[in-house]
Structure 1
Amino acid sequence: MDFKTFLLLQFLAHLCLDYFFQTDKLAQNKNSIGFKSNFLYWHALLCFGLSWLFSLQFDFLWGAAIIGATHFIIDGFKKNLCNSNLLGKYAFFIDQALHLLVLFIVAFFFDKFQGINPTVHISFNFKYLLIITAYLVCLKPANIFIKEVFSSTNIMVSSDNEMPNAGKVIGMLERILTLTFIIVSQYSAVGFLIAAKSILRYGNNETLKTEYVLIGTMLSFGIAVITGIIINLF
């Protein structure tokens, strides 16, 4: 296993931990009361377990412990970050950047000083692993990222006549389709998808709502396009 595959596996562990293995309610509990949250301790323990499991080697025990401990500290202090007048609106982005920085630093120094020698030998195709990661990113993580962009820029529009969570489902579907089209080099189909959504969603006189949907659509397609380009680079 090379360094980039090892790092990607650690990123996959982080995706599972922070986006798929915790509900919005539990995340809010953790963010609002910090170190007083019982869930935070289970979250940190799960972080350690997933990091160690995805490393596929026993010797990464200390690396997983560092990742779990720093995850606990960063999430514990996120309450203070959220309450900051200056940085509060950017708490999500700072939190995620710190977690990813820790992952890179620990993986880098582990590779440099101990070496990546998996206890469990599994042959990974890096591109296929990258594709799986890209599809996961286009699901719940992308929805949360877009929501946080709206929140940090104070963009809010009421939607009294829409089905609850419909926008999230539509966003996930369009990103999955867009990513698939880019992977198979069907770029014209991406243009058709954007045009079709434009006709269906923008044909109304609600200017504010139209601009809100346009921003969300551009962010959504942008995430899928960028992940598709990264995959094609490999």
Structure 2
Amino acid sequence: MIILIKLIFAHLLGDFLLQPRTWVREKEHHKLLSWRLYMHVLVHGILVLLVMGSLQYWLLALVIMALHFLIDMLKLYAQNESSRTRWFIIDQSLHIIGIVVLWFIWFKPTINFAAWFNSQSLWLYATALLFLTFVAGVVVQILMSRWTEALNDLQDGSLAHAGRYIGMLERLFVFVFIVVGQWQAIGFLLGAKSVFRFGDLRESKNRQLTEYVLIGTLLSFAIAVATAMLVVYLS
């Protein structure tokens, strides 16, 4: 496992810390004709050798360089301004998956996939995360639908789906805090959200909106707390 961590460390170092924005812009503009692209790929190969600490892994470094080059080329020719974020996620996902696959083929680690796949903890946490991200959002939306309709005319041009993602993140934070036993951090999270919301609620001077936000927040937190406590109990 330490080798896999080293390879991922080398990738993150080469793709973020050792890749200036000027290199990124030049690659996007010139694509295959950009010498920065080849320098970037070479940096990744050198980093692999450095983290592995031996020149005997030169073939692994070359394979990772070739794979990195192909994935970067796919991104450079497929992305546009509107899909930049999506292709960033795809690009990084492919790099990490490629590294994991190469690590598994190259070093043949002994992993009991059957035991891992049938682990109660795996399915317990997977179910909890699925519930807290997507399912709980729908539950909160349905439970608050009667008040949502009444406040539709108060929309102030907020970011699209921002409320949904804020709810997902706050439930995940609460879940993690409880699982690791840091209950006091939930109070900090609730306080921080209250501070950020206070200005909007004060300016709106609308009691219905204040009550709506308060009910939504408490309901979201309650679901996250109950889920986390159930997971801790069953673990």
For residue 6 of structure 2, the aligned residue among 4, 9, 26 is 9
1:45 corresponds to which of 42, 45, 49? 42
Alpha-carbon distance in 1 for matches of 2:187, 2:29: 43
State how far apart, in whole Å, the 2-side matches of 1:38 and 1:62 are: 23
Counterpart check, 1:95 vs 2:91: yes
Q: Which amino acid aligns with 1:39?
A: R
1:99 corresponds to which letter in structure 2?
A: H
Give the TM-score, by structure 1 length: 0.51
In the TM superposition, what are the counterparts of 1:63-74 in structure 2 within 5 Å?
63-74=60-71
Q: Say if 2:184 is the partner of 1:200.
A: no
Give me the whole-angstrom Cα distance separating, in 1, the residues matched to 2:16 and 2:187: 30
Measure, in 2, the Cα distance between the counterparts of 1:30 and 1:110. 30
Of structures 1 and 2, the one scoring higher in RCO (CA 8 A, sep 6+) is 1
DSSP 3-state at the match of 1:204 = helix
Residue 136 of structure 1: aligned partner = none
RMSD value over aligned CA atoms? 3.4
Equivalent residue for 2:103, pick from 102, 107, 124: 107
Trace 1:1-234 onto structure 2 (pairs within 5 A).
4-83=1-80, 89-112=85-108, 185=180, 187-205=182-200
Q: CA offset at residue 193 of structure 1?
A: 2.8
For 2:77 and 2:186, locate their aligned partners in 1 and report how far apart those are by CA, in whole Å: 43
What secondary structure does 1:202 align onto?
A: helix
CA 1:194 to 1:104, structure 2 compared with 1: closer, same or farther past 3 Å?
same
What's the offset of the Cα at 1:31?
A: 3.2
Instruction: Report the structure number with the largest CA radius of gyration.
Output: 2
* Matching residue's letter, 1:81: A
Partner of 1:138: none
| Pair 1:33–1:187, CA change in 2 (3 A) | farther
2:221 corresponding residue in structure 1: none
Gaps of 5+ in 2: 110-158, 161-172, 205-212, 214-235
Query: Where does structure 1 differ by over 3 angstroms across 4 or more consecutive aligned residues?
Result: none
Between the two proteins, what is the percent identity of the paired residues? Answer: 23
Deviation digits for residues 154-187 of structure 1, max 9, x if unmatched?
Answer: x57xxxxxxxxxxxxxxxxxxxxx8xx96xx451
Structure 1 pair 192–26 and aligned structure 2 pair: CA distance change class (3 A): farther
Change in 2 beyond 3 A, CA 1:198/1:107: same
Counterpart CA distance in 2 for 1:42 and 1:187 is 45
Distance, in Å, in 1 between the alignment partners of 2:38 and 2:197 is 45
